[in-house]
Structure 1
Amino acid sequence: MKVLLPFVIAAALGTLAAPIVHAEGTDSWVLRVGGAVVAPKDNNGTLAGARATVSSSARPTIDLEYMFTPNWGVDALGAWPFLHDVKLAGLGTVARTKQLPPTFGINYHFMPDAAWSPFLGVGVNYTNFFGTHATGALYGNSVSIANSWGAAVRAGFDLRISDKWLATVDVRWADIESDVKVNNTKVGTAKIDPVVFGASVGYRF
């Protein structure tokens, strides 16, 4: 059920938004393509008695937002899989993992008709870890990182380039905490809670 929750919430948001349309019936969608850097917080918890550090990662992103009023929109964020190293104090890199972090949210745009329009958003994040494998001191062991879902927040601004084109800069935060197992035995919880810095170009249609 936890795995499905983000998609249930996103579907509910979309259902609520669907009956409300712009009076002019145009430019209700914004497609943004760009990139983001996922920067985990400094202290990522303790694994097997050692302090853990999860590396940052940069990847291309795509975001689709439906504006159900000039001020309010719901969006879904996707990305190319991020790649992270997991390091333990005194041991170096002991695992590498990939993750996909689809994030769904609702955003309020303060000045949608202005050339510069700030916005704030809240939502839910689901992080799917996959391709995890042991390296270094743990090479030859089985390492797994549990999937995670949690709250997400967003702040940023749109810069209007033309009637159709815009540039967006934003910062997101997501609550990501995942159990880590070595040879099917839990060795701790990775507390990632990253800040995500993004920049993109958008097109209204």
Structure 2
Amino acid sequence: MHKSLLSASLIALAIAAPIANAHEAGDILVRAGAITVNPKADSGSVKVDRGPAAGTNLGGKATMGSDTQLGLNFAYMLTNNIGIELLAATPFEHDVKLKNTALAPANGKLGTLKHLPPTLSVVYYPLDSKSVFQPYVGAGINYTWIYDEHVGSRASEAGFDNFRAKNSWGLAWQVGADYMLTDKLMLNAQVRYIDINTTAYVDNNSVAPGTRAKVNVDVDPMVYMVGLGYKF
């Protein structure tokens, strides 16, 4: 009888241990895992905005490929239910393509670009801090720094050069969840929508001196991350 009670007590303690104080005010949460940026890339048509043919609408669309990198989250719990979080990652690289433009040499891969998307959010955890399962929602602001743009070899042969894109400010929303494996270690999954809008430019002096084309792109990616976290 006593052995049964002791065994039951130990099992209860083992189950309860990770539940106690899952997230509390003052906790620092660090998460790391695989993060994928999947751009929607809904663009306007490609237009010539500089040179003898300025104002010409070339039609077509711009698209961007997805990329997966190492994602990092740093969060600080202001209360048991509210935290502030910073999203970071190793640089993403995306292929940029043009399709269905009136200028045939422009169609296909234009080039590549890299970006970093630091995002600062306020997150809300609705459940009691002792719950082993901690879903949350968040909203914040994103700054996307775009750099290292360059045209591809095929586009370069067609006379394209000086490819660049503007940085972007936008809002971001997320849903996610932590599952406490121990008092400190957790599994994490999250999904975000980030409002990223940019204007890309590219020169082509082989068409005519001073010719430049531009396209406005609503990148607006869905961002997915799965990983592990640790509470300090």
Give the TM-score taking structure 1 as reference length. 0.83
The Cα shift of 1:167 comes to 0.8
Q: Name the structure 2 match of 1:125.
A: 142
- Mind listing any 5+ residue stretches in structure 1 that lack a counterpart? 1-21
Q: Name the structure 2 match of 1:145.
A: 165
Q: Name the structure 2 match of 1:197.
A: 224
Query: SS at the partner of 2:97?
Result: strand
User: Could you tell me which of 177, 183, 191 is aligned with 1:157?
Assistant: 177
The Cα shift of 1:185 comes to 3.8
Q: Name the structure 1 match of 2:133.
A: 116
Query: SS at the partner of 1:142?
Result: strand
CA distance in 2, matches of 1:99, 1:42: 15
Contact 1:27 1:204 in 2 (8 A): no
Q: Name the structure 2 match of 1:107.
A: 123
The Cα shift of 1:145 comes to 0.5
Moved more, 185-194 or 63-72: 185-194
Task: Name the % identity.
Answer: 32
User: Could you tell me which of 187, 194, 202 is aligned with 1:167?
Assistant: 187
- After TM superposition, the runs of 4+ consecutive aligned structure 1 residues lying more than 6 A away are none
Q: Name the structure 1 match of 2:151.
A: 134
CA distance in 2, matches of 1:197, 1:150: 18
Query: SS at the partner of 1:197?
Result: strand
Q: Name the structure 2 match of 1:30.
A: 29
CA distance in 2, matches of 1:169, 1:50: 36
